[in-house]
Amino acid sequence: MKKSISSPAATSWTSRPQGTHAEYKQPLSTCISPDSLGTLSHDTTNDEDRWFFEALENLGLSLHHAQQEAVRHHEGPLLCLAGAGSGKTSVLTARAAYLMAVSSVPPESLWLVTFTNKAAAEIRDRLGRLPGITPSMARRVQARTFHSFALRLLQAYAPPFTLLAEERSRYGFMKRVLRELGLQEQFEAETALASLSALKSRAELPEDWQPKSPLERDLRRAMLRFEEQKQERNLKDFDDLLLDTIKLFEAKPELPVKLARRFQFVMVDEFQDSTPVQIALLEAIANAHRNLAVFGDDDQTIYTFNGANHRYITTFQERYPDAIRVTLDLNFRSTPAIVGLGNAIIKHNQDRLSKTMQAVKPAPASSAGTSQQPYYLRPNDAEEEAMLMIEKIQELKQQGHAYQDMAVLYRSQSVSRAMIEQLTMEGIPYEQLGREPLFYDHGLVKPVIDHLRLSLQPRDKEALGSAVACLYISREQGLRYIQQQEKERAKKYPLVHLASCQGIASFQQEAVKPRIRYIKKLASMKPALAVQDMRREFYDKFTQAASHADSSAYQDASAELLEELESSAKRFDTVEAFIKHIDELAARYDAQQATGSTNARGSRTEPYAPQQQARQETKAKSAPVDTPYHARDAEEADDKLTLMTIHRAKGLEFKTVFLLGITEELLPHRTSLRKKPPADKKAALTEDRSDRSAAMAVTDASRSQEEDVKLQLVEEERRLLYVGVTRAKNQLYISSPVVVHGDKQEISRFIKEAWQQ
């Protein structure tokens, strides 16, 4: 029975979501005129600090009353609840300057905690330009990330060690471990490392983890071996730094006392992203004097997969009953319509600190190509979504908007597949923020493509490795044996050599010829049916990809990637046509990457996968790909559209934002909508750790633990959309495709709720 939906497809951008009733009005925020901010400015009757705020104004930084209240706060705990676009960083740096310039606090007594080295450098730079602060004073302030701070401590007080600082080295290290254990086909190195990082962020070690499935037991085995090999080589990575600092404090209790005497004032930026181990480190030092000021927004907690917990900020005043709370609720970034939509979305979260943002920025004057409110699209599927979105992007470009002022945001990589394909094929310059492969090069997708390649070219050497691995034979061992046998006697189907390979189990030998017959059959199938059939026959079992009531979030994410592959394959009638498309796409993609383009943060983009490197090495053997991208002059080549996940977009802003895939089961993601939460998600959200206070428990006693987990999962998805919406300064375009992986879906409930005011 086909699913019926209340909002049908529509191919034009509209000022209200499809299917919303005419009586529902567009969400808007209160708009504060910039000219009226003078009435909210500082109290000039305070002679002691009048000079400081007047000097700030001369520098172009005029603080309103709430901002100044946070700046003036001296001793005791402070919660500065700073909404999106509220000038949080300006307030934090101004408070640090105030403490030094007005309150005569020595620079060495300040510890400013940031979550990136870039933010720390920016704060030091800003400090040096504020009233009463010299560059020397700014340099003496400890503005550091948790990890940088911990590294300094360990280097000073712990036995010598070598830091595994390069992520590439860490990645290679885990890759070798997976190969050693024969798990390289089950897990990507990035996946294993991300899981290990999440575990340690909760102050846990692999030996503490109790896996609940064979897949998780294999993952734990890889983690344990990774840790063993680090210890054998006296290596630490960044995840170890915080845990080992806590251990150092336990071994040397006089050390945190000494640090508390030095760092009399502690300020934490982006506090909502704090993890249990970071909180433990922070409290070990700051609780002695309680001069702890935290800045953040619980509505922007979107990193629970990394161990963050929004309840550290929502329960701050329970942990510190004497804390002063200052709310920064003026948004200087976005138009009233964008701020209003954000408010209307996030207010439906139950577990949050109440606040309603007000826009300071007026709506832009109506003109060609300039929207005064968010626009909505209801395309039929991802392909149409990408086509219509690119049309709108090109229209804006022709009207004078720069690509670099636009960003396309999405929840997960699979959602961006069609968009990246069409941008690449049309030669539109874009930059992906983040180390993501081309969709068809993804470790879970490529083996399926390789089997299709072998159905057409059974002697394809690069594709053979995937077929070997899917027979549960070591890739290296199998390919080495095939290569040896081919030298003696070449076969049309080289895979057949494995049927007589000594050193592998008999069941593996017996599976070879049936698998070859199966691969032959794939060539005559429609590609989408071939992908489905491979998954059913052997591939889902091999990868443990699954999407059912008991599957883990990792298994579900794997299944989602393969479903997106099926959706892509449906466009083609033959396997040959599908493979030809993938190869042409890869050639164009590599040609664009080879230009050495820079990403949104200014670092050079490097090839993600060995497949891309291999393609580039063989490029000379084929004709060059001529794309419109290569015809652009140098100046225009620097003007690129930005693509990234919403998680990566946090902290950034763009004049124009496009949101992809704002549809049920995409955002909110289907794992958050299950009747029974995934076991791995549940474990991460319900661990009863000793470092968590009673305030961190379920806040509503009427909810069961499982109901609380379900609520947390959905509310984080809503926060994710809120973060996406509030990245936009002037223009916002939201797309909700009807068909997702073959099933019809409604527009995201979060958008519908926002309009049902």
275, 128: one domain: yes
Instruction: Check which CATH number belongs to the domain holding 729 and give it.
Output: 3.40.50.300
Residues 6+ apart with CB under 8 A from 688: none
| One-letter amino acid for residue 315 of the chain | T
In which element (H, E) is residue 735 found?
A: strand 728-735
The confidence band for 550, taking pLDDT boundaries of 50, 70 and 90, is: low
Q: Under a CB-based contact definition with an 8 Å cutoff, are residues 14 and 733 in contact? A: no
Whether residue 69 is found in the same domain as residue 11: no
Where does the pLDDT of residue 681 fall: very low under 50, low under 70, confident under 90, or very high at 90 and above? Answer: low
Predicted structure pTM score = 0.87
Asked if residue 720 and residue 670 are part of one domain, the reply reads yes
Alpha helices in 370-416 (DSSP H): 382-398
Give the Cα separation of 381 and 749 in Å (integer): 18
Q: Are residues 14 and 121 in the same domain?
A: no
**CATH code for the domain of 484:** 1.10.486
Same domain? 91 vs 205? no
CA 427-431-437 angle, to 5 degrees, is 95
Biggest distance spanned by C-alpha atoms of the chain: 95
Is residue 616 domain-resident?
no
Range list of H helices, 252-367: 254-262, 276-286, 311-314, 316-319, 336-346
The answer to the question of whether 19 is labelled as a binding residue is no
Amino acid identity, residue 666?
Answer: L
Q: Which one is predicted more confidently, 436 or 291? A: 291
Structure-model confidence comparison of residues 474 and 47, the more confident one: 474
Number of domains in the chain: 4
Q: Which domain holds residue 209?
A: 162-233
Own/partner contacts of 45-49, CB < 8 Å, gap of 24 or more, are 48/102, 49/98, 49/102
Residue type, 680: D
- pLDDT exceeds 90 at position 547: no
Q: How large is the average pLDDT for residues 38-60?
A: 76
Helix (H, G, I), strand (E, B) or coil at 23: coil
Mean pLDDT of all residues in 388-401: 95
Domain boundary among 574, 595, 618: 574
Q: Is the pLDDT of residue 609 over 50?
A: no
Task: Write down the pLDDT at residue 685.
Answer: 64
The verdict on whether residue 596 carries a ligand-binding annotation is no
Phi, psi of 728 (to 5 degrees): -85, 135
Q: Quick one: which of 628, 643, 637 has its CA closest to 595?
A: 637
- Distance (Å, whole) CA 289 – CA 369: 55
Question: Is 76 part of any known ligand binding site?
Answer: no
| Pair (246, 391) in one structural domain | no
How many whole angstroms separate alpha carbon 356 and alpha carbon 32? 13
Residue 606 CB contacts under 8 Å (≥ 6 apart), including other chains: none
Contact 456, 576 (CB under 8 A): yes
Q: Is 344 annotated as a binding residue?
A: no
Q: What are phi and psi of 201, to 5 degrees?
A: -65, -25
Q: Is the peptide bond before 458 cis (omega within 30 degrees of 0)?
A: no
pLDDT of 665 reads 92
pLDDT digits (tens, 9 = 90+) for 219-232: 999 999 999 999 99
Strand 142-145 with 739-740, pairing: unpaired
Mark whether 113 and 180 lie in a shared domain. no
Instruction: Tell me if 44 is assigned to some domain.
Output: no
In a domain, 664, yes or no: yes
Q: What is the pLDDT of residue 48?
A: 86
Choose among 119, 165, 120, 117: nearest CA to 142.
Answer: 120
Report whether 83 belongs to an annotated binding site: yes
The verdict on 140 and 195 lying in the same domain is no
Name which of 104-113, 555-564, 744-753 the model is least confident about: 555-564
749 and 653 together in one domain? yes
On whether residue 462 sits in a domain, the answer given is yes
Whether 746 is in a domain gets the answer yes
- Choose the weakest-confidence range: 182-191, 353-362, 466-475: 182-191
Same domain? For 269 and 205 the reply is no
Top pLDDT among 207 and 629 is at 207
Residues 6+ apart with CB under 8 A from 653: 85, 333, 727, 728, 729
38 belongs to a structural domain:
no
- Partners of 544 in the beta sheet? none
Q: Is residue 346 part of a domain?
A: no
Q: Which residues contact 155 (CB under 8 A, 6 or more apart)?
A: none
Same domain membership, residue 534 and residue 667: no
User: Does the residue 601 lie in any domain?
Assistant: no
Q: Find out whether 87 is annotated in a ligand binding site.
A: yes
Nearest alpha-carbon partner for 333 in 515, 87, 507 = 87
Q: CA 633 from chain center: how many Å? A: 33
Banded pLDDT at 629 (limits 50, 70, 90): very low
Instruction: Please report the pLDDT score of residue 368 as a whole number.
Output: 45
Residues 412 and 548 in one domain: no
Of 116-125, 209-218, 299-308, 600-609, minimum mean pLDDT range? 600-609
